[in-house]
Amino acid sequence: MYKFFLILISFSAYTHAWWDTGHALVCDEAYKRLSPEIQKKVDELIEGRFDNYGAACIWPDEVKAIERPETRPWHYVNLPRGKVKVTKAYCPEDGCLLSAYFEQLEILKIGDHVSRQEALGYVGHFIADVHQPLHIGYGFDRGGNDLVLTLNNKERTNMHMIWDGYIIDYAYKNYDQKTIDEFINKTISEMTQADLTKDFYAWATESRLLALSKGVGYKIFIDDGPNHFYSRRKNLDDTYLETQVPVVLEQIAKAINRLVFTLENTL
């Protein structure tokens, strides 16, 4: 049964949110919060293939491009305009983040050793992905990947990349380690049992609401142009990054704690 382990942890080894180091952050820090019994089960599964749980959670991104291209759609789910509540009805035939998560969770419970080994990485990876708001975006701009922006009127990027890494990178450059650690630990300590026991669809809906919020500005950007599509490159500056730092840190904290809860109740 899940037990809450509140420990002050350091995140100094990581510099981005949902890029490789971010997936390692979520999974490695979740591992530290697991009970000794579940830690042992994780160790037994990854032994001989991955150096640590963080490496296992990076692996799904490493294989999706060439080795297993059929898994590319597994990392996101797109909803049409006007839709907020995430349900399995939005998964296409080739799958999406929702179907992939539940499939891998079931494999983690009853699969053979190699399949469970991979499923362990997938489950951690997908829990991180579902907490990145732009992974629950629109299809026509590929979750913000086609929403081209400049950062501080200089660097060319896009809305998805801003949320995948630029915001947390800004946080580590502008805040001391203690401040970041305390914020994440405080968020975890304030999470209720209800926050943890919400299902994956509810977590995805939370991220969808966040993506469409005025503060994030994703909906504002895409609606500002002909046919409700962007018509020119937009610019974001450090003020935007600063405003979103607590939002991203809260999402990371939720992902860590919900992964702990999931593994404690699955392995």
pLDDT per residue over 74-109, tens digit each? 999 999 988 999 999 999 999 999 999 999 999 999
Report yes or no: 2 and 196 within 8 Å, Cβ to Cβ. yes
Look over the chain and give the mean of its residue pLDDT values, rounded to a whole number: 88
**Which band of pLDDT confidence, cut at 50, 70 and 90, is reported for residue 118?**
very high
Tens-place pLDDT, residues 155-182: 999 999 999 889 988 988 999 878 988 9
Q: Enumerate domains of the chain plus CATH numbers.
A: 20-264 (1.10.575.10)
Query: Residue range 131-147: average pLDDT?
Result: 94
Banded model confidence at residue 22, pLDDT cuts 50, 70, 90: confident
Determine the pLDDT at residue 7: 36
* Structure tokens, 106: 């079931």
- 39 class by beta-carbon count within 10 Å (0-12 exposed, 13-18 middle, 19+ buried): middle
Lowest mean pLDDT, pick from 20-24, 36-40, 116-120: 20-24
pLDDT at 231: 52
In the prediction, which pLDDT does 221 show? Answer: 75
For the cut 80, the answer to whether the pLDDT of residue 205 exceeds it is yes
Which pLDDT belongs to residue 13? 38
Give the sign of the dihedral formed by CA 163, CA 169, CA 172, CA 175.
negative
pLDDT at 12 > cutoff 50: no
